[in-house]
Amino acid sequence: MTNIEIINIGPIKHIKIDLNQINVFMGPQSSGKSTIAKIISQCFWFEKNYILTGEEYYFYGGLIDFHRMDDSYFSDDSEITYDSLWVKITFKGKGKKSKISVIRNDISTDIYHNLKIEYIPAERNFVSAISNLEKYSDSYDNIINFLNDWMIFKETLTNKKDFSSPLKSINIKYKYNSTKKEDVITLPNRKKVNLQRASSGQQSIMPLLVVCEYLFNELYNQKRNPSPAERKNIQNLLPDNMKSDYKWVIDMQNFHNNEIEQNSNKEVEIVKKKIWNKLGFSTDYNHSTVIIEEPEQNLFPETQKELIYHLFECIKVKNRQHNLVLTTHSPYILYAINNCLMGNLVSNQDMDKIEKAEFLETNFLSRKSWISPKLISIWEIHNGTLKQIQDEDNILSENYFDIKMTDLTDEYYQLLNYYKDEK
């Protein structure tokens, strides 16, 4: 289990949570949702870099520069503690006064599996609304990182065929024309439109869908070679009698004869497994952790629901331990999540034959997205602290919805007392 504690950073006063496979942070604007998501992302990055390369990079600088957090968010009594199976990271302070300590957990019997970390910012429309963005290189932050990945992923994904939206309410196809450097969508009436001139909803959803498709599925069809820093670290950690094995693996992965690759693939995997077991970590991509700010952005409620169903279906891919972090202030996102949790609970209940048959024949749109409530944690941010809004079954509490609906309708009923129907 991985847990994180944040003290006195921005609007966050003090929170401590255990991270789940899916983590949802609900709250109003400026309540600290993105602050938590960015810190989680930074901890994942630091841990990954430290394990794979043996190096530490500037933790505070990553929060300020890459995640664009304001320096005023921090003070001398700011603290972050991240504790996982593999490392414990402790950060304190601000700017040059900040300190970070890392303790490697060598007791763990689990192997650390490399993951692809993708932070999808609320400003993602930027990448599809403005043309020729590949020329933009004034800075490097989470927006530009998303832009760079979008440029790579969309060309790879649409190299052979169009990408079809998995959402019925966004019934379009997408294709990147690498020759003209154009993003083109095909509408249901077969008319083609430049994505830069499409609706705000289409501009928001298409980069999100393309990047998620690549991260949850396509990525694992690509061979990954370790970075120079990773190779150096591995060579230093391996005993002399295994260094030649690692060099052989790298040479084989760089060899492009398909027939030889296929015939030697099993042998390569056997040797790699031996190396990863010795090191206690693997540099091959095993899964993705995707952090999405405001997935509901520019989307109609029906599309918000479909998007959640699609993301949860992707998360359930077998043999992958994908993770998802969402920040939201949309009740429709929460309703869609609750359907996925309730579906799982009901499907595991005892039913008689007639009831079971009727249940199986019912066309529940969320059926493929049903997921164990134990795998998801949902928090509401209030005054710099977190409150988990799930009941004993881990589904969203009915009281929570009742309160929010009452808040929404109270004023209407107050006005209704003064309304006079003249008919």
CATH superfamily of the domain spanning 2-120+287-414: P-loop containing nucleotide triphosphate hydrolases (3.40.50.300)
Separation between Cα atoms, residue 11 and residue 381, nearest integer Å: 10
260-300 residue pLDDT tens: 555 567 888 899 999 999 999 999 999 999 999 999 999 99
- Ordered DSSP codes for 73-99: G--TT-EEEEE-SSEEEEEESSGGG-E
Q: What are phi and psi of 343, to 5 degrees?
A: -60, -40
The predicted pLDDT at position 92 comes to 96
| Per-residue confidence band for 105, with pLDDT thresholds at 50, 70 and 90 | confident
Average pLDDT value for residue range 43-57: 93
Characterize 327-361 residue by residue with b for buried, 16 or more Cβ atoms within 10 angstroms of its Cβ, and e for exposed. bbbbbbbbebbbbbbbbbeeeeeeeeeeeeeeeee
**First CA to last CA across the chain, in angstroms?**
64
Separation between Cα atoms, residue 153 and residue 178, nearest integer Å: 12
Average pLDDT value for residue range 122-137: 71
Residue 288 CB neighbour total at 10 angstroms: 25
What is the enclosing helix (H) or strand (E) of 289? strand 281-293
DSSP type of residue 70: -
Asked if 125 and 298 touch (Cβ cutoff 8 Å), the reply is yes
The amino acid occupying position 188 is: P
Over pLDDT 70: what percentage of the chain?
Answer: 93
CA angle 254/260/261 to nearest 5° reads 50
Domain ranges of the chain: 2-120+287-414, 122-221, 228-284
Question: Is the pTM higher than 0.85?
Answer: yes
What is the enclosing helix (H) or strand (E) of 53? helix 33-53
| Per-residue confidence band for 422, with pLDDT thresholds at 50, 70 and 90 | low
Separation between Cα atoms, residue 201 and residue 198, nearest integer Å: 8
* Mean pLDDT of the chain, nearest integer: 89
CA angle 142/93/90 to nearest 5° reads 75
